[in-house]
Amino acid sequence: MVVTKIEEIIAEHGDYLLRVAYLYVGNSETAEDIVQDVFIAFYEKRDQYRGEASLRTYLVKITVNRSHDYLRSWKNKRIMLFEKVKGRSTNHTPERAMLEIAEKQELVDALFTLSINYREVLILYYFQEMTTVEIAKLLKCPESTVRTRLERARKQLENRIIDYEWEELRRESI
């Protein structure tokens, strides 16, 4: 009975959580690992879910926290250092090649150039469709800070998209 319930939860929320994790860490394999950890943690501690927020919001909060943990981890820093030293990705697979092509989309490129503070408010506001009040509670910061980050993130994103478009025009003219 409980197994069926967790399978339903995974089916209902898995893809969405995967997108959230990917937007934080920028790697599909790592995002999959994070989401798997989230569901394992939820299954092991399902009694702690009190229903104060929707299950989706609760799972997103865990996913965001796990993504932050990963970004702060030594493993992540070691992988990034290795990629910089080698000048290439550590895992060249056909799936990775397709993912790299998808990542070249203008908006995704611009989004990943933002600092994590700006990226996360955009993700939570636009993809999770959370209010600034909900984001402030999740991030444990004042609502005015969330609104300021949103404003600055939008401006930076706009500038980066404009820069990207100018760079494309310059390349085409050469």
Name all domains of the chain by residue range, CATH numbers in brackets. Answer: 1-72 (1.10.1740.10), 104-174 (1.10.10.10)
pTM confidence score: 0.52
Closest of 129, 152, 127, 130 to residue 139, by C-alpha: 130
- Asked whether the predicted pLDDT for residue 63 surpasses 50, the reply is yes
As a whole number, mean pLDDT of residues 64-73 equals 87
**Cβ-based neighbour number of residue 130 at 10 Å:** 19
Which pLDDT belongs to residue 12? 93
Q: How far apart are CA 174 and CA 165, in angstroms?
A: 15
Lookup: tokens for 71: 């970004």
Q: Give the pLDDT mean for 140-159.
A: 92
Residue 37 has pLDDT above 80, yes or no: yes
Mention every residue, 6+ apart, whose C-beta is less than 8 A from residue 93: none
The C-alpha atoms of residue 16 and residue 11 are separated, in whole angstroms, by 10
Summarize the confidence of residues 20-34 as an average pLDDT: 90
Question: By the 8 A CB rule, do 148 and 121 touch?
Answer: no
Q: What is the pLDDT of residue 48?
A: 85
* pLDDT for 96: 62
CB 122 within 8 A of CB 153: yes
By percentage, how much of the chain surpasses pLDDT 90?
37
Confidence bin at 6 (pLDDT 50/70/90): confident
Residues 76-120: tens digit of each pLDDT: 666 665 555 455 555 556 666 665 554 456 677 778 889 999 999
Question: What is d(CA 102, CA 114) in angstroms, rounded to the nearest whole number?
Answer: 18
